[in-house]
């Protein structure tokens, strides 16, 4: 069971009281039957005495619910493991100094939102000069040549451009994740690299709202970054990995 102090439960008013809030939509009208269905679903999830505290119609045949309840489950955090990126996080200035000290020429980063994904907010936040939330993008970094291909870029085109520009790092952003379409697309890119015998030629990094490092490693990528990550997080990992590979190393 482990140390008792390591066991935790959700809480709302009192520590470990188990109080939780769920929200979900149902493909039925918003009425008494809909509310009862919402409660039954919560019960089947192991939440005793659930209470529907909000119900709203989304359309004639769809409805939305917020349910309060008490979770009886708990977890032992001593037994939890999270696969995280293992690199020292550096500031923009530290990264620029690191590049100047360790590389003989600028590093080339190429990025895109691939497949049918037209959302470029993520890749723009990492690559564009203005960046996001006060953190400049890679275009503003000394020693980095950043190439942003934008959205809806086929895997084959991304690889073709990466080879043409002699890229050191490939960045892929995936925002559209319905029915795990991002998993299929990301898997196909690694398969493409391997089929062309190019996997070892690049540091390949993925990012997006449902991306984490564990998933990235599982799919064959070097690293994965989820929400609230910035250009300096990505660049810190990339430049250290390139140094380890001996890419463009100063003699």
- Residues annotated as catalytic (active site), given as ranges: 130
**Which candidate, 247, 233, 208, places its Cα nearest to that of 87?**
233
- Give the ranges where the chain is alpha helix by DSSP (H): 32-44, 92-102, 121-127, 155-164, 181-195, 213-219, 231-245
- What burial letters (b/e) apply to 105-141, b meaning 16+ CB within 10 Å? eebbbbbbbbbebebbebbbbbbbeebeeebbbbbbb
Residue 32 CB-density burial (10 A; 0-12 exposed, 13-18 middle, 19+ buried): exposed
Neighbours of 191 (CB within 10 A): 13
Handedness of CA 183, 185, 188, 190 (dihedral sign): negative
CA dist 232 → 13, 123, 227 (Å): 38, 13, 14
Residue 114 dihedral angles phi and psi, to the nearest 5°: -105, 170
Token pair listed for 129: 């000069």
């Amino acid at each position: 069971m482990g140390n008792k102090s390591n066991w935790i439960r959700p809480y709302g008013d009192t520590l470990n009281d188990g109080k939780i809030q769920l929200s979900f939509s149902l493909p039925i009208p918003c009425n008494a039957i809909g509310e009862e269905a919402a409660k039954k679903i919560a019960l089947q999830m192991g939440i005793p005495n659930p209470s529907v505290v909000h119900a709203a119609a989304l359309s004639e045949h769809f409805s939305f619910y917020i349910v309060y309840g008490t979770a009886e489950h708990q977890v032992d955090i001593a037994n939890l493991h999270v696969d995280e990126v293992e690199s020292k996080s550096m500031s923009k200035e530290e990264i620029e100094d690191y590049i100047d000290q360790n590389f003989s020429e600028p590093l080339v980063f190429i990025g895109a939102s691939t497949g049918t994904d037209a959302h470029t907010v993520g890749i723009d936040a990492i690559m564009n000069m203005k960046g996001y939330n006060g953190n400049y993008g890679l275009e503003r970094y000394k020693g980095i040549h950043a190439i942003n291909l934008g959205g809806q870029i086929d895997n084959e085109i991304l690889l073709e451009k990466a080879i043409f520009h002699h890229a050191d790092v490939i960045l892929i952003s995936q925002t559209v994740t319905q029915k795990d379409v991002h998993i299929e697309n990301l898997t196909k890119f690694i398969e493409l690299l391997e089929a062309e015998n190019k996997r070892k030629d690049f540091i390949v990094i993925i990012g997006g709202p449902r991306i984490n490092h564990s998933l990235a490693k599982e799919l064959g990528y070097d690293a994965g970054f989820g929400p609230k990550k910035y250009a300096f997080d990505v660049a810190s990992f990339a430049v250290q990995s390139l140094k380890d590979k001996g890419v463009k190393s100063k003699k």
